[in-house]
Amino acid sequence: MGLRRRDFVKAGLAAGATALAGSGAIRGTPLPAPAPPATSGKPVRPVAICSANGLAAVERAMERLRAGEDTLDAAIAGVNLVEDDPEDITVGYGGLPNERGVVQLDSSVMHGPSRNAGAVASLENIRHPSRVAQVVMKRTDHVLLVGPGALEFARLHGFKEENLLTEKSRKIFLYWKETLSGKDDWFTSAEELEDPDLRKYIRTYGTINLNVVDTAGDLSGVTTTSGLFFKIPGRVGDSPIIGAGLYVDNDTGACGATGRGEAVILTCGSHSVVTRMAGGESPEQACLGALQKIVDWSQAPALLDADGRPNFNVKFYAVNKRGEYGSAAIWSNSRYAVHDGSEARLRDCAYLFKRA
Ligand code: GLY
């Protein structure tokens, strides 16, 4: 008979306790005292913080928190609005496809109170990868499912399959493909060449990350994306990687990322921000510190501008257990959305470098 997760966790705890008791008895080393709680027990000001494409998402997440919903359910309800929005070409339905014209979505969720997470990568045909990630967390002993396995899992759990490529994203994709090279057989029309709506989509990244804290100081977060525009099929960014595009520690805080995923993966970005907050930094200081590491680690000439600075952007969005929040980007003129219990608004991110 298979072991259910609950039994598995219990069995693991029992084994761990035996091992600890054994080693303590032999060496006579007392176990460390538990860390003091990070809040004073007073109600925390609830906060929802998100990338700038999530102004409506923080509004919805805050409504759900006020209704007493679980922090992760509230966060996911917020980003579902953007996964559903065909006008946001960086997330869910209407997201830009890979280099073969296929939309492949990445998402992760992390639930502070249960210290658990779930994620999916390269998932096709399902518009709410964040919800599938939550089912991976709740209904399996795994954290990350990818590609056809993730799709099969979603189907088995009743998710509806659909074509995620909208007319808008199909046209942007085709324009990219047809203008990629003068050495192939793909031509574009004169009208399309002049169309400013098609010309403006350079190859870049987009994502939504949303993190919340409720009045009890419980935290959760979610990140969901269609990833790098026109990516190599199967390319997975930071969004579904726990510790990179998202990290939540219910004793400390939550953080997520948007922007160049490879840089965030290489530096374990969101984990690094949460670790800095645990060390006493404010959310904004912690985001800036983790971004500085990305700058220090970006050495390939293809990633640098004429002044030796990254030619890409990364943004972090962080909130701590006391309801303090902050966001920072490598480059100025970056914004984020926040609802701090009074209203939803867009604010400027702190930054390392000012754009000319
Ligand atoms: N941060 C989104 C991605 O790199 O896919």
Query: Domain holding 220: CATH number?
Result: 3.60.20.30
pLDDT for res 32: 53
Write out the two tokens for 55: 């102004």
Look at residue 116 and tell me whether its pLDDT is greater than 90.
yes
One-letter amino acid of 255: C
Let me know: does 339 contact 59? Beta carbons within 8 Å.
yes
C-alpha R_g of the chain: 21
Asked whether residue 20 is domain-assigned, the answer is no
Residue 189 confidence (pLDDT): 82
Q: How far is the CA of 237 from the centre of ligand 1 (A)?
A: 5
Ligand 1 contacts CB of residue 228 (under 6 A) = yes
Evaluate: CB of 239 within 6 angstroms of ligand 1.
yes
Instruction: Assign 42 a pLDDT band (cuts: 50, 70, 90).
Output: confident
> What distance in Å separates the CA atoms of residue 120 and residue 97, rounded to the nearest whole number?
17
Q: Which residue has the higher pLDDT, 42 or 108?
A: 108
**Total structural domains in the chain?**
1
pLDDT at 308 over 60: yes
The answer to whether position 24 is within a domain reads no
Range of the domain at 215: 48-353
Q: Which of 34-48, 54-68, 293-307 has the lowest mean pLDDT?
A: 34-48
Q: Is the CB of residue 210 less than 8 Å from the CB of residue 339?
A: no
Given this model, what pLDDT does residue 109 score? 98
Q: Is 107 in the pocket of ligand 1 (CB under 6 A)?
A: no
| CA 261 – ligand 1 centroid, Å | 4
> Would you state the pLDDT for residue 29?
52
pLDDT > 70: percent of the chain: 88
The closest-lying atom of ligand 1 relative to the alpha carbon of residue 260 is: 4
Ligand 1: which of 98, 264, 317, 330 to mutate, judged by most atoms within 8 Å of the beta carbon?
264
Confidence bin at 39 (pLDDT 50/70/90): low
| Per-residue pLDDT tens over the stretch 236-279 | 999 999 999 999 999 999 999 999 999 999 999 999 999 999 99
Nearest atom within ligand 1 for CA of residue 245? 1
| CB of residue 238 inside a 6 A radius of ligand 1 | yes
pLDDT at 26: 38
Asked if 266 and 298 touch (Cβ cutoff 8 Å), the reply is: no
In this prediction the pTM is 0.89
Does the structure show a pLDDT above 80 at 220? yes
Residue 12, pLDDT above cutoff 70 = no
Q: pLDDT category, 196, cuts 50, 70, 90?
A: confident
Residue 66 lies in a domain: yes
CA separation for the pair 285, 80 (Å, rounded): 30
Catalytic residue among 140, 179, 204, 207: 207
What average pLDDT score do residues 159-183 get?
A: 94
In this predicted structure, what is the pLDDT of residue 191? Answer: 81
- For ligand 1, is residue 256 a contact (CB within 6 Å)? no
Atom of ligand 1 nearest to the CA of 261: 4
Which atom of ligand 1 is found nearest the CA of 257?
1
Confidence of residue 154 (pLDDT cuts 50, 70, 90): very high
* Mutation choice for ligand 1 from 228, 236, 314, CB with most ligand atoms inside 8 A: 228
Does 149 fall in a domain? yes
Find the 33 Cα to ligand 1 centroid distance in Å: 39
Cα(311)–Cα(319) distance, integer angstroms? 27
Distance, C-alpha 82 to centroid of its chain: 13
| CB of 130 closer than 6 angstroms to any ligand 1 atom | no
Confidence bin at 317 (pLDDT 50/70/90): very high
Is residue 279 situated within a structural domain?
Answer: yes
Task: Report if residue 30 sits inside a domain.
Answer: no
Dihedral angle sign, alpha carbons of residues 15, 17, 19, 22: negative
Q: Is the CB of residue 331 below 6 angstroms from any atom belonging to ligand 1?
A: no
**Cα 316 to ligand 1 centroid, rounded to whole Å:** 12
Nearest CA, atom 4, ligand 1: 261
pLDDT bracket for residue 2 (50, 70, 90): very low
Residue 26 resides in a domain: no
Residue 207 appears among annotated catalytic residues: yes
Residue 35 maps to a domain: no
Compare 73 and 190 and report the one with higher pLDDT: 73
Residue 15 has pLDDT above 50, yes or no: no
